[in-house]
Structure 1
Amino acid sequence: MKKNFFLATCFVAFSINAQVNRFVYQVTMKSDAENKNDVKTENAYLDISAEKSQFYSENRIKRDSVMQAMFQSGGARNFNREQMEGLRSNIDYTIEKDKKSQKTTFKNRIGRDLYSYEEDRPVNWKMLSETTKIGDYKVQKAETEFAGRKWTAWFTTDLPYQDGPYKFSGLPGLVVKAEDDKGEYSFDLMKNYKIADFPAMNQFGNTMKVKRTDYAKQQEKFRKDPEAFMSSQNTGGGGGSIRIGAPSPPMSRGGGNQNSAEMRKRRQERMKEEIKRNSNPIELN
């Protein structure tokens, strides 16, 4: 009886310790360089455990869930483009921070493949004495210059996490708010709660491990000629990257050649729109 009670107590303690803390940030973006009046807002999650953290779009999880349900109920035949468009996100990337190694890994899709690189630029903060209160938290001001933008952050030591949204970390507390000096990007903590574990994320296509500079080159190739870039992915062109995983699943099934020109045209329009809406990226260099 005592042994069973001890095991049950250990299980409960393990379950509590294994929980992940989820912080929900409202992300505000002016990502279209030609239209700064177009302000986009969506939620993103920062999930933190003792070992790591992940930052990604709320719509990413919703989209993955919808796609999984579609594939389980009939695959491409049940693909609802309108529903997927409603879950489109301007936060296409995922950022992982490993607590032990202090490494930050950035992942983002270019075309059909997922590209992954290890961040090689430290976030060097200048801590200031100014304090205030945001919501329930007493916060302190800090500043940094990172990837072409000047950032102001407000962090709190009321929470036991030295982390923050996007690539921000290294302060003696959790970043509650961060914004650039142009007012084009901001992250605001809205709420937090516990979840059982990190969510499983669908990984379609190959994962290409590259250096950050090589990722930037591939991204520029895609921006200049997305159709040619997609064609090079079909032929296995990787630009010196390390390819991991299976090829991407076919984009469609059936239909013969009669719809191929129309499908190609729609794909080109979607890619051009994607490039336009991300013409003022969060990282300027």
Structure 2
Amino acid sequence: MTEQTQQDPRDKHKSDEFPAHGDIGQPGLNRETTPDPDHGESSYRGSGKLEGNKALITGGDSGIGRAVAIAYAREGADVAIVHLPEEQEDAEATLKYVQEAGQRGHAYATDLRETNAAEGVIGNALKDLGGIDILVLNAAYQKAREGIDQISIDEVKKVFDTNLVAHIAVAREAVPHLKAGSSIITTTSVQAENPAPPLLDYAMTKSAQKAFTEALALELGPKGIRVNAVAPGPIWTPLIPATGFPEDKVQEFGTDTPLQRAGQPAELAGAYVYLASEDASYTSGAILPVTGGKPF
């Protein structure tokens, strides 16, 4: 009789109780997030699935982006990340894990909303990495809204410029340099299908990212480039206490899922590895939900 090795998913990370958490402000930083998110620093074990690949990850300094960077490096890929200048401390920590895995790591302090920012980032990645095989469009911004009658149009533009326009700009610059076998992965959200009123504009962009993924997969498939997305549910990252939710909302974060807890960034890494790897060679135009059981 074999020994049981699978863990009850309800209990994993269950000890990570979230205290009443005041708004830590944008952008959220890892050192201001309690408890520390698990990015797979001590748990992720690679098996060479991405050996020889070169990956560019936007929003790679913390949260989901850091977990993906760690996993990709431990799977054998060189990694470049994009982050805001204010996130330098977190970006340096991510690079440390990439380099400790024996891979090349580069970081670009860039606000992707700025004119020509995407062109500069892609140019730097091509120079530093020698090419791009995997493009992860992960950078995002969200802020809790009090109601449609009070929403700031400038804030809406910031959400759309970060979550949509920047994605299109980076993809536009990258695609001419992607070879057959390359992969683009977008981070959408369960909010794309189950929008919450306080995240009205964020949810709109996540729904649009789903359409972006599906349309781009149709366009680029004949060129041998796969395009997919991961749709996270409630994942504990610095973005959450930086969103401006009420303190009790943060305390209860993720308890409304069937698994009755929030997920950790490390629990998403495998989805991004799969979609970038040869295991997913016939997977394109797919949205892979990692939601703790919330329907998508």
Bin for the TM-score computed over the shorter chain: under 0.3
Q: TM-score, normalised on structure 1?
A: 0.25
More strand by share: 1
Q: TM-score, normalised on structure 2?
A: 0.25
Q: Which has the larger radius of gyration?
A: 1
